[in-house]
Structure 1
Amino acid sequence: MSTVFIALQTNEDTRPIVEAIVQDNPDAIVNEAPAMVKIDADGKLVIRRETIEELIGRSYDLQELQINLITMSGNLDQTDDEMTLYWNA
């Protein structure tokens, strides 16, 4: 199975986002570097707006993720509620 990933800047805004991604993808692997955090997952990685909102305590538009996005790998499907990175089998 191919690995997908998302890499975000490391800052106070992204800490709860990373926590939400890990909560929704318990098998994901988090790799921290001084200025970025990269989250790898086999086959698929799901980012849910609702989980992020629960952790930050306010409404959240998934488009806000782009402010701290460094790069990602995989095909992207996105709705208002969920972003999914995946590779076709």
Structure 2
Amino acid sequence: MSTVFIALQTNEDTRQIVDAILQDNPHAVANEQPAMVKIDAEGKLVVRRETIEELIGRPYDLQEMQIHMITMSGNLDQTDDEMTLFWNA
């Protein structure tokens, strides 16, 4: 199985986003750097709008994450409610 990842800037806006991603992906590992957090996961990584909204306490559009995203690795499948990174077998 291949590893996918997403890297986000480290700032106040991304703390709850990172927490939401880790909550929804217990197999994922956060690697914190001084200016970014890189979240690695075997197979796939799912980002759910609903979980982010629960943690930040307001409506959230997944497109907002692009402001804080540094890079990602994997194929991307995105809807209004969910973003999934994965590699085709």
TM-score by length of 2: 0.99
**CA offset at residue 24 of structure 1?**
0.1
- 1:11 alignment counterpart: 11
- 2:45 alignment counterpart: 45
Amino acid at match of 1:37: V
State percent identity of aligned pairs.
84
- 1:24 alignment counterpart: 24
SS of corresponding position for 2:27: coil
**CA offset at residue 55 of structure 1?**
0.1
**What is the alpha-carbon distance in structure 1 between the residues aligned to residue 29 and residue 19 of structure 2?**
12
Figure out how many residues of one structure are paired with residues of the other and give that number.
89
Which aligned segments of 4 or more residues in structure 1 are displaced greater than 6 angstroms?
none
Runs of 5+ consecutive residues of structure 2 not aligned to the other structure: none
**What is the alpha-carbon distance in structure 2 between the residues aligned to residue 84 and residue 25 of structure 1?**
11
TM-score by length of 1: 0.99
Matches within 5 A, 1:46-65: 46-65=46-65
SS of corresponding position for 2:50: helix
